[in-house]
């Protein structure tokens, strides 16, 4: 009887020990499937493909949520409708967060998008004259950027205390009596036939079939550097700024594979900010 009892106890011990490896075969924490929703403006996001491919190896799917209105993207991020966004430069981001009380953080840098002037009516900026209509973005940062460019070209003078985001009301003198038309940035390409010229940023130009190098009558000279307010960023909610997946996305963005696509396909509309 004792011998039988010992055999039963031994069998129970062995059975208990053999159960442990089954627990080790479960999916490790952190490797479960995950979808990251990225808020963007426009449809041309080919340079994300290397990032999409690499993140798929970690079982992470990148899903784009496309917006047409700049004002809605950070709003959606702050509300938790998307996970991160990639559409704006520091200047816009800082102003938008301050104006709306968004608790967001820039977690990575992406590209520089030079602002260019396009026209269906004139061939060069030397043809701009009194009475001509110039379209600029209605948001304060991109509109302010266009105003500063008009100042650099000698058409207007601006209150120097307004920094790099002046408004039309901050213009102190018109050296050429132009009329500035403020309109949503993404609609400027469609109204080019109705104005003398319009300032369009790189991503919107590409979405509209315009080439900054070939079609513009003037292109902003972008000074690369970490203090440039027009470097585009990836933003997240501040509570999620240290998320490991988001950090890896930012790291993958700043690779040669992404830079190659930007340089090959965007014809000067975008410039890798980290190069």
Question: What DSSP line would sit under 62-116, residue for residue?
Answer: EEEEEES-HHHHHHHHHHTSSSEEEEEEHHHHHHHHHHHT--EEEEEEEEE---E
Mean pLDDT by 10 residues, the chain (275 residues): 40 36 35 93 91 98 95 97 96 94 98 94 98 95 93 96 91 98 96 98 88 92 70 97 98 97 89 89
What is the per-residue pLDDT for 43? 83
With vertex at residue 120, the alpha carbon angle to CA 116 and CA 126, rounded to the nearest 5 degrees, is: 65
What is the per-residue pLDDT for 58? 97
Give the CA distances from residue 174 to residues 131, 133, 151, 163, 219, in Å, rounded to whole numbers and listed in that order: 11, 13, 9, 18, 21
Q: For residue 215, what are its two tokens? A: 């079609």
> Hey, what domains does the chain have and what are their CATH numbers?
35-113+231-272 (3.40.190.10), 116-219 (3.40.190.10)
What is the per-residue pLDDT for 31? 62
- pTM, rounded to two decimals: 0.75
What is the per-residue pLDDT for 24? 33
What is the total residue count of the chain?
Answer: 275
What is the per-residue pLDDT for 165? 85
């Amino acid at each position: 009887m004792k011998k039988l009892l010992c055999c039963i106890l031994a069998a129970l011990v062995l059975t208990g020990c053999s159960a442990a490896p089954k627990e080790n075969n479960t999916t490790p924490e952190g490797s479960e499937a995950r979808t990251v929703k990225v808020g963007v403006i426009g449809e041309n996001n080919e340079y994300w493909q290397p990032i999409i491919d690499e993140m798929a190896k970690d079982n992470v799917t990148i899903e784009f949520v496309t917006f047409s209105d700049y004002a809605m993207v950070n709003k959606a991020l702050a509300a938790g409708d998307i996970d991160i966004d990639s559409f704006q430069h520091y200047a816009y981001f800082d102003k938008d967060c301050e104006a709306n009380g968004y608790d967001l953080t820039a977690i990575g840098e992406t590209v520089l998008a030079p602002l260019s002037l396009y026209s269906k009516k004139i061939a060069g900026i030397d043809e701009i004259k009194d009475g001509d209509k110039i379209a600029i973005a209605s948001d304060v940062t991109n509109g302010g950027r266009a105003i500063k460019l008009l100042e650099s070209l000698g058409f207007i003078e601006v209150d120097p205390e307004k920094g790099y985001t002046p408004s039309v009301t901050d213009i102190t003198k018109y050296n050429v009596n132009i009329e500035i038309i403020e309109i949503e940035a993404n609609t400027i390409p469609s109204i080019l036939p109705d104005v003398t010229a319009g300032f369009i940023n790189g991503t919107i130009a590409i979405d509209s079939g315009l080439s900054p190098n070939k079609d513009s009558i003037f292109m902003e000279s972008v000074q690369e550097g970490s203090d440039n307010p027009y470097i585009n960023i990836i933003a997240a909610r501040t509570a999620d700024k240290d998320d490991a997946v988001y950090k890896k996305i930012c790291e993958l963005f700043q690779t040669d594979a992404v830079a190659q696509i930007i340089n090959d396909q965007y014809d000067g509309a975008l410039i890798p900010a980290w190069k």
